[in-house]
Chain A
Amino acid sequence: MTSGLAVHGLSKNFGGLQVARNLTLSLPNGARTALIGPNGAGKTTFANLLTGVLKPTSGTILLNGKSVGKMSESERVRAGIAKTFQITNLFRDLTVRENIRLPILERERRTNKVFCHSDGIPELECEIFQLLEDLALTPLADKPVRGLAYGQQRLVELALTLALKPKVLILDEPAAGVPSTESHLIVQAIKRLPADLSVLIIEHDMQLVFEVANRIIVLVNGAILLDGTPQEVISNREVRELYLGADHG
């Protein structure tokens, strides 16, 4: 029995296309794991299987030893599995502050409350304030997300998921589209996370990967090519060919 997330024999087919092939791996508490691989390798699909957006063709997913297979997407979030979207998915007409307020209220199980004010709890408002500060979003706090630059929206995307305080955090290319001058904010945010959290980061920016991850999984065509430390991954010939030889994807 492991604490954290454990995946066993996970497969997913889209019609004839096999996007996850018998994946077995564990993401224990406290792990900082990176998932890399070329475009179309099945990284996002894997993340969606973990969060319940997609149902696997076969295989099991255990959170702290208990199967989450029957849980809906929102039940899994409540159980502690949360992810960011590769393609920003925000509440475009709400302000940045309201965007962050929603996951916090949800985490506190308050979104069914009618007879109180949505910003009525000072501790939660302070938490929003802190998140805004951490991601340098304070000057934009009361602007609608619609009007933000894409890189800023990526940071809001990250803030929404951090606000859930998950036990397993899955980041799907958090730095894609963020200007390099701001990508350190993402690194810092990940480094500030509680130590016992399990983080799975899907990322193409290898510099960022090396900064935050102590374990790297290489996914190619839906199968695990290599699962090891950053050193092992750098020194692996196949991976070098994949990454240095041809396109970055």
Chain B
Amino acid sequence: MTNATDQVSIRRKMGRLAPVLPALIVSVAAAIAFILFPYDLAFLTRIVIMMIFVLSFDLILGYAGIATLGHAAMYGCGAYAAGLVSLHLASDPLIGLLAGAVAGALIAWISGCVLLRAQGVALLMISIAVTMVLQETASQARWLTGGADGLAGITVSPLLGMFEFDFVGQVAFVYSVCILIAVLIFCCILASSPFGLALRGIEGSASRMRAIGTPVYRRKVTVYVIAGAIAGIAGALAAQVTGLVGIEVFNFSLSADVMVMLIVGGAGRLYGALVGTLVFMVVHHIAAGIDPFNWLFVIGFMLLIIVFALPKGLISLPDRLVALLRRKP
């Protein structure tokens, strides 16, 4: 039995360190980006926010195996909530984030209770429908949301009362990176928790999970609400750093892009979400800069190549290379 306890304690020590490493990597990468591209901070901030959004989608698609095409619903609700709070209630950015998280979680809970009873194509359709209804609502409720014009002039007070949001976007970038790191650490903790293991179990075989006594539906709703809160935070951040919220936050293409970014990077590993977002957005940026009309070709080709050559996403590239090298003696 001592052997078992030894093994166990070694495993536990390694497990404790796991969330620190990704946080460290992201901080270092962000610092380098900050120094190398001081004039592209607005673009970098958009990448960081999108990373948070894609991470939240990884929890539901990558871990729990629930495919939806309506993840923009939570992002959009978070953005509107943060925008409205800062326009009418409180300009503190952290309160705005909290409002975004609550709004994202709430809409995830309400819609999740319905759509998680469905499966496959039906679930995809319902998730699209939810986002459409929200977009139409945002467009009709002119008195609240500004309709098609959206909310403009959203301003937030200095972060923690000390750091004023500047024109170059330095504070916004650092602020977003800090939130990304917090979200990433949370996701790492979740992934290695009993709940995270249960999600992977549901992804692997829901019928077996039922046969070991897991209330599968309840676990799915829980992860959907957690992912909704994180998506809401991403939306809130976007509203705060751009000062705008429009009905495009509910666009179908946003939900689709999130899925593409996750598949490009590799689902179910957290790192994949980060890599996929970075590659997708940088390629998009460069391709659109070179040819504003045909950049979709480039994205399409990239997706095709990755799906065929690396079905588990870019994150599996090192493993694949090692496997290839091993085969050739």
Contacts and interface: CB of A to CB of B under 8 A. Distances in A.
Interface of A: 51, 53, 72-75, 77-78, 82-83, 85, 89-94, 98, 101-103, 105-107, 110-120, 122, 125-126, 129-130, 160-161, 164
Closest 5 CB pairs between A and B? A77-B213, A91-B204, A129-B4, A111-B198, A103-B212
29 contacts: A74-B210, A74-B214, A77-B210, A82-B212, A83-B211, A89-B211, A90-B204, A91-B204, A94-B201, A98-B200, A102-B201, A105-B194, A106-B212, A112-B195, A113-B194, A114-B195, A118-B196, A119-B8, A119-B11, A119-B12, A120-B15, A122-B9, A125-B5, A126-B1, A126-B8, A129-B7, A130-B4, A160-B208, A164-B213
B137 interface: no
A84 to B, nearest CB: 9
A196 to B, nearest CB: 20
Among A72, A90, A93, A118, max chain B CB count under 10 A is at A118
Interface string B184-212: 00000110111111101101110111111
Contacts of A92: 204-205
For the side of the interface on B, what is the size category?
A: 35 or more
A115 B211 contact: no
Contacts of A72: 210, 215
A138 B203 CA distance: 25
A91 B4 contact: no
Nearest to B218: A112
A91 B210 CA distance: 12
B134 interface: no
Contacts of B205: 89-92
Contact of B193 (A77, A114, A126): A114
B210 A117 contact: no
B219 interface: yes
A98 B214 CA distance: 15
Contacts of A77: 210-213
Contacts of A164: 212-213
Contacts of B203: 93
Contacts of B215: 72, 74
Given A111-B197, A164-B213, A89 B12 contact: no
A125 B211 contact: no
B327 interface: no
Given A89-B205, A120-B12, A110 B194 contact: yes
Contact of B200 (A73, A91, A130): A91
Among B1, B189, B204, B207, max chain A CB count under 10 A is at B204
Nearest to B268: A93
Contact of A107 (B15, B190, B213): B213
B189 A115 contact: yes
Given A117-B16, A120-B12, A164-B213, A125 B4 contact: yes
B222 interface: yes
